[in-house]
Structure 1
Amino acid sequence: METQMLQMVFLLLVVLLPGAKPDLGSDRAALLALRKAVGGRTLLWNATQISPCLWAGVKCENNRVTVLRLPGVALSGKIPTGIFGNLTGLRTLSLRLNALTGPLPSDLVSCTALRNLYLQGNLFSGEIPEILFSLHDLVRLNLASNNFSGEISESFNNLTRLRTLYLENNKLSGSIPALKLTNLDQFNVSHNLLNGSIPAKLQTFSSSSFLGNSLCGRPLDLLCPDDSGNAAKPPEEGEININNNGGHKKKLSGGAIAGIVIGSVLAFILILVIFIVLCRKKSNQKTRAVDIATVKHHPEVDIPGDKPAPEAEHGGGGGYSNGYSVAAAAAAAMVGNGKSEASNGGSAAGAGAKKLVFFGNAGARGFDLEDLLRASAEVLGKGTFGTAYKAVLEAGTVVAVKRLKDVTISDKEFKEKIEVVGAMDHENLVPLRAYYYSRDEKLLVYDYMPMGSLSALLHGNKGAGRTPLNWDMRSAIALGAARGLDYLHSQGPNISHGNIKSSNILLTKSYDARVSDFGLAHLVGPSSTPNRVAGYRAPEVTDPRKVSQKADVYSFGILLLELLTGKPPTHALLNEEGVDLPRWVQSIVKEEWTSEVFDLELLRYQNVEEEMVQLLQLAIDCAAQYPDKRPSMPEVTRRIEELRRSSIREYHDPQPDISNDADDISSRLS
């Protein structure tokens, strides 16, 4: 009791004596006062330690507290005034994912060196205080998921260095002011009570930044009303507004409107009749075999553009039905080609290629090419090496079928190389079960992976019903993929994968990782080169058909960064640009807001920050610019196994460290 009284007296002296110069002692007293006010039961600082720099979540420089990170540690209540007035050396303050209430303390204005302020996921209320707009060094500001109300002030323009402004999930009202923040690259005001038009300077952000309001204009589909109150759509490029001499738009007559309505109804009825006829024709043809001559010339089906990962390989979750067996279409074309070759005096190899060639005991499954003809199928995705299908055979067997493209090597060379692939046997590889070869068609049959690809799981639907990827799942996937790639490299110094990326890491029902598409990079011609994802490719690779093992390690490092950040690398997704992950991570470390590198889904899990940092360091090592600076895959596997064991020990520790943030990451990555 006496100790607490002395601490409070010391704090009051520091606050009341204007001549007192803040130092580490005043910072310590302020932190203890903060713990007393809002610490609850989880902020287990050891008050007997003289230096607060040894406390969890605290970092010091030049005898001052410069970083305070206390995310998700059950802080609650109102922060009293008089604490931050003594923490004037703060550059980073993170109190996110707690239960703090009330307005922001007014003495936060004293933290003039503050660059990063993360308060999302609390219960702060009231208007966004004017004191924030005098913190001119602010770079990252996140006030999302609180109860802030009132309007968004134009004074945000005072924060000229601001790059991140997150205000979503509050109760902000009014219109969005014309923000002129030239450095702003992250912005979100979704799910508030805002109205009016979106300012032109902010229309470059995605529509998700504005959803859940009564806003209009680009990038939303809602049109803004003109001065007369009518909905007015700004003319698109190439669109002409036809006006009469008075400047008003011409109005359609009643007869013209009636004609349009009647015509639309008749067109709808006609389309409906055609659809019914086609459905009946399809039903009648379902019971008989597919006509080979017809299927042979059927065009290849394109994938809808809204698929989250356009390069989803043969384990992509959920496919697209094409009316009849797409796999059968590919197989039928192959049978047709085989018959044609045989009837025209083709080679014995061409004639004999009418059958699937199985590896190991795969032939005991009891299906052949004719079974694929009768299989129902779905398109899973188009990848670097061809189109993948999910085929369900009549016996209930499910396989993945890949129809290769741009294979330019001879049949002898193809068979030699594909037999090497078929001989690969490891629990973390997707096994190749069979293949078909003819002059014009090449078909590969794999085990089907029901949970799809890592890419789809990371970047696909994040709404209700989605299975979040926690730390244990992500680290297990990283280890499984590392072991699969390690096995490939162990088969010889010249054997590499050549196309490591998240869409080629497929998952079983238990989310075990399986590496797919190994060995195929050596089969395709140079025309496939532009399809490779630039974000994964090592800087020294000029010919994608000649990828070294060290280049594989680089791609695996990018994969690890993707796992940790939840962000796709450059050009990995069709509807997103992605980021240059190595450069982005390094910039975070340099800017001292390094905990923000991790996916938010990871930050909710406690006691694993040390392992997350270790995996991040490994990823950076793998993605080194020069090949000789990168570790080998055996070393990569060993390091992931060690951090996994450490993570399991921490998880079962009865008295774990409560901090779930990556404190002091910068020093550990230097």
Structure 2
Amino acid sequence: MQLLKLLILLPLLLVLLPLVKPDLGSERAALLALRKALGGRTLLWNVTEPSHCKWAGVQCEKDQVVEIHLPGVALSGQLPTGIFGNLTHLRTLSLRVNALTGGLPSDLASCVNLRNLYLQQNLFSGEIPDLLFSLPDLVRLNLASNNFSGEIPPDFNKLVRLKTLFLENNKLSGSIPEWDALKLEQFNVSNNLLNGSVPEKLQTFSQDSFLGNSLCGKPLDLCPGDNGTSAALPGGIETNEGGKKKKLSGGAIAGIVVGSAVCLLFILFVLILLCRKKSSKKTSSVDIATVKQPEVEIPGEKPVSDVENGGHNNGFSVAAAAAAAMTGNTKVEANSTGAKKLVFFGNSPRVFDLEDLLRASAEVLGKGTFGTAYKAVMEIGPVVAVKRLKDVTITEKEFKEKIESVGAMDQENLVPLRAYYFSRDEKLLVYDYMPMGSLSALLHGNKGAGRTPLNWETRSGIALGAARGIEYLHSQGPNVSHGNIKSSNILLTKSYDARVSDFGLAHLVGPSSTPNRVAGYRAPEVTDPRKVSQKADVYSFGVLLLELLTGKAPTHALLNEEGVDLPRWVQSVVREEWTSEVFDLELLRYQNVEEEMVQMLQLAVDCAAQYPDKRPSMPEVTRRIQELRHSSVKEDQDQIQQPDMINDIES
């Protein structure tokens, strides 16, 4: 009986086995044909490797190719037809940041399981192909920064699962179709040749999604005729009454002229009175509480879209803000000798005093969690940064004890606190001035043509410097923590060395200074910002690492879902797509560092673990960053010493 069963099964096995081998062979052949067809930097695949699933950028499930990720590898030429018909299990295809030309191959329509298609920053041209609309599972489509032309097809309405559609920086013309079936979460058609009105379903997106076109309607300016308005008529006054012009009579014009003259005289009279009143009080002191501080946010305190390039106030003086509280005002407290002075720490050079500081011209650097910071330029002496603390609720004795412990900390990756001033109405801290500003400003500030991209070496060096500074703080005792780690508190020297600032200040202020605006950095278990553990610091540092790697601020407006924090977003993308899709495009310009970037990403995820006991300590974090930086340097040296092996790889 068993022999009979074997005789029946044997022909079936002989039929099925050949069906498996050719499928795997055809996928391998398709990948090799793709490499051969594209110019530029040859894909460094080891063709002697038995499994093509181990080639860089190729990901498989059950020996079937499901994802191809080849971003920023200098590919050029046109995608050939006949490749993707053998890769029908593809779910993600990423060829972004290359130099691919022409149109999309027709057999891409065979990849009916495709969910994510990333083709941005290439040279693709022609109209948006109809083959895309035969991909029913498509969720994310990015065709931005290419040369696509023609109208935007209404057939996008067929892609009912589509959530992301990026078409900006192309040459698309015509109007935007009405897509009733789509429920887009991300959308951008800026910098095209589009005209007409914005469809109602797309009016929830920001202006940035539509700028650089001839579009109108919400969220842009209203279209002519909207809300019963009409355009101005040439040579007359706007009107809604049958398009007829209304001209003013001579008497009406004369009345307007006389009325305007009377108003002008009245205004001049009021200004003269105010000037006399001000001059009579010139010698009187001004209470510090009446001085209005400029409301300037430190870059990074707001979402990227809200960061302003300004923040300068060159006419402002430290004296204008604090002179009343320090020069004869009865509210100012003096020391035992009756003199009011700065208290310096350790061996800090005393090349200036309080009067020099008050006479210094100042520039507003920003308003942060604990107060407003100024750049103070003195006539004689160094340029320093002065922070005016707000909401300090502790006594002078407590303040002195806590601030002296801060001033005693001396490590090269900390911004040193040089001096302080304490009175009932004013608390000033004097730091070394960091000329390059904050990491937040560097990452999210200037995005224009003059921007210098941050390479991997610079970013990993900043991460290492910040880690060393925080590790030093933690070494001062089990209860010592920073309490407010974020990218705007990582300042940079001219050589881009990281310096940690604002350490020790969380214990000086009251609960009203809770940093709600930077909740993206705060560990889940933290309820009181004045009581932050070292493990909570590690969480915040993990978010900082993710910010360095992704280029996104924790509250970035373009995250996939409203209210999703950066660690959760990264984990969802890695789980759903592939790790490289989370990295900042600026990092993908630099070759041969992907392995180190992935290791840093894993470290960031470990630091931002939900539960404190699963997070590493800062000494371990520092060690891991040092190791991956050393491996990166060693790999670069090895590649310089090795001969070019591209010609030795089989085509």
Shift of 1:329: 2.8
Q: State which drifts further: 396-405 or 513-522.
A: 396-405
* Secondary structure of 1:340 counterpart: coil
**Alpha-carbon distance in 2 for matches of 1:646, 1:229:** 67
**Alpha-carbon distance in 1 for matches of 2:230, 2:168:** 27
Decide whether the 8 Å contact of 2:369 with 2:515 is kept in 1.
no
Aligned to 2:210: 210
**Structure 2 residue identity aligned to 1:218:** K
Aligned to 1:122: 122
Aligned to 2:42: 42
User: When the two structures are superposed, what TM-score results if normalisation uses the length of structure 2?
Assistant: 0.85
Aligned residue among 295, 298, 312 for 1:320? 312
Decide whether the 8 Å contact of 1:72 with 1:604 is kept in 2.
yes
* Deviation digits for residues 569-598 of structure 1 (CA, Å, limit 9, x no counterpart): 13899xx98850111111112212432211
Aligned to 2:343: 357
Cα distance change of structure 1 residues 269 and 481 upon mapping to structure 2, 3 Å threshold: farther
* Deviation digits for residues 355-401 of structure 1 (CA, Å, limit 9, x no counterpart): 00001222x34211111221111111111111111111011521111
Decide whether the 8 Å contact of 1:607 with 1:658 is kept in 2.
no
* Deviation digits for residues 287-308 of structure 1 (CA, Å, limit 9, x no counterpart): xxx9571364542322257966
Aligned to 1:293: 285
Aligned to 1:615: 600
1:93-112 pair list within 5 angstroms? 93-112=93-112
Decide whether the 8 Å contact of 2:299 with 2:444 is kept in 1.
no
Q: Gaps (5+ residues) in structure 1?
A: 1-18, 234-241, 660-670
Aligned to 1:223: 222
* Deviation digits for residues 194-237 of structure 1 (CA, Å, limit 9, x no counterpart): 111111211222222212111112222x331238998569xxxx
Cα distance change of structure 1 residues 257 and 501 upon mapping to structure 2, 3 Å threshold: farther
* Deviation digits for residues 33-89 of structure 1 (CA, Å, limit 9, x no counterpart): 222222445223333334221222212112211111222223222222211111111
Q: Say yes or no: does 1:329 pair with 2:327.
A: no
* Secondary structure of 2:195 counterpart: strand
Decide whether the 8 Å contact of 2:298 with 2:366 is kept in 1.
no
Q: Say yes or no: does 1:558 pair with 2:538.
A: no
* Secondary structure of 2:285 counterpart: helix
**Alpha-carbon distance in 2 for matches of 1:306, 1:446:** 17
**Structure 2 residue identity aligned to 1:294:** V
* Deviation digits for residues 77-107 of structure 1 (CA, Å, limit 9, x no counterpart): 2222211111111111111222222221111
**Alpha-carbon distance in 1 for matches of 2:104, 2:421:** 68
Cα distance change of structure 1 residues 624 and 183 upon mapping to structure 2, 3 Å threshold: farther
* Deviation digits for residues 255-296 of structure 1 (CA, Å, limit 9, x no counterpart): 6688779988998999999999999x99x99xxxx9571364
Q: Gaps (5+ residues) in structure 2?
A: 1-18, 233-237, 647-651
**Alpha-carbon distance in 2 for matches of 1:152, 1:95:** 22
Aligned to 1:80: 80
* Secondary structure of 1:378 counterpart: strand
Cα distance change of structure 1 residues 579 and 648 upon mapping to structure 2, 3 Å threshold: farther
Aligned to 1:469: 454
Decide whether the 8 Å contact of 1:494 with 1:548 is kept in 2.
yes
**Alpha-carbon distance in 2 for matches of 1:470, 1:419:** 38
Q: State which drifts further: 511-520 or 246-255.
A: 246-255
Decide whether the 8 Å contact of 2:296 with 2:311 is kept in 1.
no
Decide whether the 8 Å contact of 1:569 with 1:579 is kept in 2.
no
Shift of 1:604: 1.2
Aligned residue among 588, 598, 601 for 2:573? 588
* Secondary structure of 1:444 counterpart: strand
Aligned to 1:664: none
Decide whether the 8 Å contact of 1:317 with 1:452 is kept in 2.
no
Decide whether the 8 Å contact of 2:369 with 2:513 is kept in 1.
yes
Q: Say yes or no: does 1:253 pair with 2:248.
A: yes
**Alpha-carbon distance in 2 for matches of 1:597, 1:270:** 62
Decide whether the 8 Å contact of 2:53 with 2:63 is kept in 1.
no
Aligned to 1:489: 474
Cα distance change of structure 1 residues 351 and 649 upon mapping to structure 2, 3 Å threshold: same
* Secondary structure of 1:133 counterpart: helix
Aligned residue among 575, 596, 618 for 1:633? 618
Decide whether the 8 Å contact of 2:288 with 2:425 is kept in 1.
no
Aligned to 1:9: none
Shift of 1:449: 0.8
* Deviation digits for residues 323-364 of structure 1 (CA, Å, limit 9, x no counterpart): 340x2234313314x75258xxx7x647757100001222x3
Cα distance change of structure 1 residues 446 and 40 upon mapping to structure 2, 3 Å threshold: closer
Aligned to 1:662: none
**Structure 2 residue identity aligned to 1:333:** A
Q: Considering only aligned residues, what root-mean-square deviation do their CA atoms show, in Å? A: 3.8
* Secondary structure of 1:71 counterpart: coil
Cα distance change of structure 1 residues 30 and 571 upon mapping to structure 2, 3 Å threshold: closer
Decide whether the 8 Å contact of 1:295 with 1:329 is kept in 2.
no
* Secondary structure of 1:495 counterpart: coil
Aligned to 1:665: none
Decide whether the 8 Å contact of 1:411 with 1:437 is kept in 2.
yes
Aligned residue among 634, 645, 651 for 1:649? 634
Aligned to 2:3: none
Q: State which drifts further: 103-112 or 291-300.
A: 291-300
**Alpha-carbon distance in 2 for matches of 1:277, 1:396:** 41
**Alpha-carbon distance in 1 for matches of 2:285, 2:372:** 21
Aligned to 1:185: 185
Decide whether the 8 Å contact of 2:300 with 2:488 is kept in 1.
no
Decide whether the 8 Å contact of 1:172 with 1:194 is kept in 2.
yes
Decide whether the 8 Å contact of 1:311 with 1:503 is kept in 2.
no
Aligned residues: 614
Cα distance change of structure 1 residues 481 and 270 upon mapping to structure 2, 3 Å threshold: farther
**Structure 2 residue identity aligned to 1:122:** N
Decide whether the 8 Å contact of 1:456 with 1:503 is kept in 2.
yes
**Alpha-carbon distance in 2 for matches of 1:353, 1:587:** 60
**Alpha-carbon distance in 2 for matches of 1:572, 1:94:** 23
Q: Say yes or no: does 1:368 pair with 2:353.
A: yes
**Alpha-carbon distance in 1 for matches of 2:303, 2:414:** 19
Aligned to 2:362: 377
**Alpha-carbon distance in 2 for matches of 1:42, 1:639:** 32
**Alpha-carbon distance in 2 for matches of 1:571, 1:101:** 32
Decide whether the 8 Å contact of 1:556 with 1:622 is kept in 2.
yes
Q: Say yes or no: does 1:539 pair with 2:524.
A: yes
Decide whether the 8 Å contact of 1:115 with 1:140 is kept in 2.
yes
Cα distance change of structure 1 residues 132 and 408 upon mapping to structure 2, 3 Å threshold: same
Aligned residue among 384, 394, 408 for 1:399? 384
**Alpha-carbon distance in 1 for matches of 2:312, 2:113:** 54
**Structure 1 residue identity aligned to 2:291:** P
Shift of 1:120: 1.4
**Alpha-carbon distance in 2 for matches of 1:262, 1:69:** 73
Aligned to 1:340: 330
1:232-251 pair list within 5 angstroms? none
